[in-house]
C-alpha cells in the first residue's frame, strides 16, 4: 500500500497535454484552429477540460505540446491559463514543435512529440518522478491523483486509463485485455473487429488516451522507440503495446477517478471524443438537457477557461409576435435574443434577430442569425452572419449543395461557405 503521503504524488508529477492534433474529421471546423482549440459548451475550449482536471487534481506543472495551426490555441492559453503561480513552481509551459532532431523533423507521432521535449522535462526542479500523458481533445472530468495512487500501488511502469465502450464503436480506440491483477495482457490499436470483454459480449475495454509513466522508464522507452525505423512513434501503436508485451502495463478504470458529485450517482461516467461533426453537435446539445450527462455546474470541480468581459445575455422585445425566448437552451454572456431558440446552445456574443428560429443547433461565438431565418440541426462556426430569411436544415439536398451536411443530418456552416454564396 502507498503510505500516508500519497496526497503528495501530484507534486511529483508533470502533465503533458498533447494538443497538436489536426482534427481532420471536424473538417472546416478545424481549418483555422487545432482540434483542442475548438469551442465547446458555450464558453470553453476543448482543451480546458484536460487542463482543469490537472489543476483540480493538484497537478500544477503542465506542458502543452502544440503543432498544427496553434495560434488560436496559444492565444487562449496565454490569456486564460496565466493564473498559476510560477513562484511556487506552478506553470503551463507551451511546447510548440521546434525541430529539435533535425531541420525537417516536426512531431512525427505522439511519442515523438514527448521525446523531442525530454531535455525540457529534465530541466524542471524537482525532477518529475511521474509523467501524465493526456490528449488535449477529449471532454471529461477526472481526478488524475486517484490514477497516480493506483499506478504506484500496482508497481507498474505505466498505467492506462480505460473505459467500457460498446463493441460496435470500439474500432476507433485502443482495445485491451486485463488479467485478475489489473495488468494489461493484450493491447490492439484500433482493431477492425474489437474483442469483447469477458462476460460482456457487447462491450470492449478501451483506452482513454490517458497514461501515467514512471519518468525514467518513459524516457528510456522513447529513446528506444525513436531508433526503431519501423515505428510510428505513437503511444497507442508502439509504446503501450511494447509495455504490455513486457508485462509492465496496468489498467486503471475510469469509474475509480471519474468526478461525480454526491447527488449525481445515477449519472453515467462521462467521456467524449467530440472528433466528428456529428459527435461534436451531439455532445454540445447534450448540455441543454434539464439534467445533462456532463455537469458544468459543480463548484467543487470547476472548468477553467478564458472569458471576455461581456455583459449578461439579454432577451427582447416585449411583443407577442417578436418576443425573444430560449427553451431548454444554454445562452452565453453577451448574447441578444429576439427570436426563438429551442434545445440549442449559443456561445458568447451571438445575436438572434426577430422572427428567426434556432432549433437543435450549436452557434459559435459572435455569430448573427438574421431576421426570419430558420436553422435546425446546425453547427454554425464563429463570426458567421446568417442572412435574413435563410433556411438551413429543412432541405437536405440544398443544405449539401451550399454547406457540409453529414450522413446523420447535421449541417456545418462556416463564414467562407456563406461568402461563396454571394
Q: Is 207 labelled a binding residue?
A: yes
Q: Is 253 labelled a binding residue?
A: no
- Find cell 432549433 and name the residue: 359
Burial 82-94 (b: 16+ CB within 10 A, else e): eeeeeeeeebbbb
Q: Is 35 labelled a binding residue?
A: no
Q: Residue 228 and residue 17: Cα distance in Å, rounded?
A: 24
**What are the C-alpha distances in Å from 227 to residues 62, 104, 218?**
27, 16, 15
Q: Is 416 labelled a binding residue?
A: no
CA-nearest of 394, 392, 389, 397 to 413 is 392
Q: Is 174 labelled a binding residue?
A: yes
Q: Residue 23 and residue 137: Cα distance in Å, rounded?
A: 9
Neighbours of 259 (CB within 10 A): 19
Binding residues: 107, 174, 189-190, 207
Binding residues for alpha-D-glucose 1-phosphate: 107, 174, 189-190, 207
Amino acid at each position: 500500500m502507498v503510505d500516508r503521503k500519497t496526497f503528495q504524488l501530484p507534486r511529483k508529477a508533470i502533465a503533458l497535454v498533447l494538443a497538436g492534433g489536426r482534427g481532420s474529421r471536424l473538417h472546416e471546423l478545424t481549418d483555422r484552429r487545432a482540434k483542442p482549440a475548438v469551442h465547446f459548451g458555450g464558453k470553453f475550449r476543448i482543451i480546458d477540460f484536460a487542463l482543469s482536471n490537472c489543476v483540480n487534481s493538484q497537478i500544477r506543472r503542465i506542458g502543452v505540446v502544440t503543432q498544427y495551426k496553434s495560434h488560436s490555441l496559444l492565444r487562449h492559453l496565454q490569456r486564460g491559463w496565466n493564473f498559476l503561480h510560477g513562484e511556487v513552481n506552478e506553470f503551463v509551459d507551451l511546447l510548440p514543435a521546434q525541430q529539435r532532431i533535425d531541420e525537417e523533423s516536426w512531431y512525427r507521432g505522439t511519442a515523438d512529440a514527448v521525446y523531442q521535449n525530454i531535455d525540457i522535462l529534465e530541466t524542471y526542479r524537482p525532477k518529475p518522478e511521474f509523467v501524465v500523458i493526456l490528449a488535449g481533445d477529449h471532454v471529461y472530468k477526472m481526478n488524475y491523483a486517484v490514477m497516480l495512487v493506483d499506478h504506484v500501488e500496482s508497481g507498474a511502469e505505466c498505467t492506462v486509463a480505460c473505459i467500457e465502450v460498446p463493441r460496435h464503436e470500439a474500432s476507433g480506440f485502443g482495445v485491451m485485455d486485463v488479467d485478475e491483477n489489473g495488468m494489461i495482457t493484450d493491447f490492439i490499436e484500433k482493431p477492425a473487429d474489437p474483442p469483447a470483454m469477458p462476460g460482456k459480449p457487447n462491450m470492449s475495454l478501451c483506452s482513454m488516451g490517458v497514461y501515467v509513466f514512471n519518468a525514467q522508464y518513459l524516457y528510456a522507452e522513447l529513446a528506444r522507440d525513436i531508433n526503431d525505423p519501423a515505428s510510428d512513434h505513437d503511444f497507442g501503436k508502439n509504446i503501450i503495446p511494447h509495455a504490455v508485451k513486457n508485462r509492465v502495463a496496468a489498467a486503471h478504470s475510469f469509474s475509480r477517478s471519474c468526478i461525480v458529485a454526491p447527488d449525481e450517482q445515477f449519472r453515467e461516467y462521462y467521456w467524449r471524443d467530440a472528433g466528428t461533426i456529428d459527435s461534436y453537435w451531439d455532445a454540445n446539445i447534450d448540455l441543454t438537457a434539464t439534467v445533462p450527462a456532463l455537469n458544468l455546474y459543480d463548484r467543487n470541480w470547476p472548468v477553467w477557461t478564458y472569458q471576455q468581459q461581456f455583459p449578461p445575455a439579454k432577451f427582447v422585445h416585449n411583443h407577442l409576435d417578436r418576443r425573444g425566448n430560449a427553451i431548454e437552451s444554454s445562452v452565453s454572456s453577451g448574447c441578444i435574443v429576439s427570436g426563438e431558440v429551442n434545445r440549442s446552445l449559443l456561445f458568447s456574443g451571438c445575436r438572434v434577430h426577430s422572427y428567426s428560429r434556432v432549433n437543435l443547433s450549436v452557434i459559435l461565438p459572435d455569430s448573427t442569425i438574421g431576421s426570419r431565418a430558420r436553422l435546425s440541426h446546425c453547427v454554425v462556426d464563429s463570426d458567421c452572419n446568417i442572412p435574413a430569411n435563410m433556411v438551413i436544415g429543412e432541405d437536405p439536398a440544398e443544405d449539401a449543395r451550399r454547406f457540409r451536411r453529414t450522413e446523420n443530418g447535421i449541417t456545418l456552416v462556416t463564414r467562407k461557405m456563406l461568402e461563396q454564396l454571394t
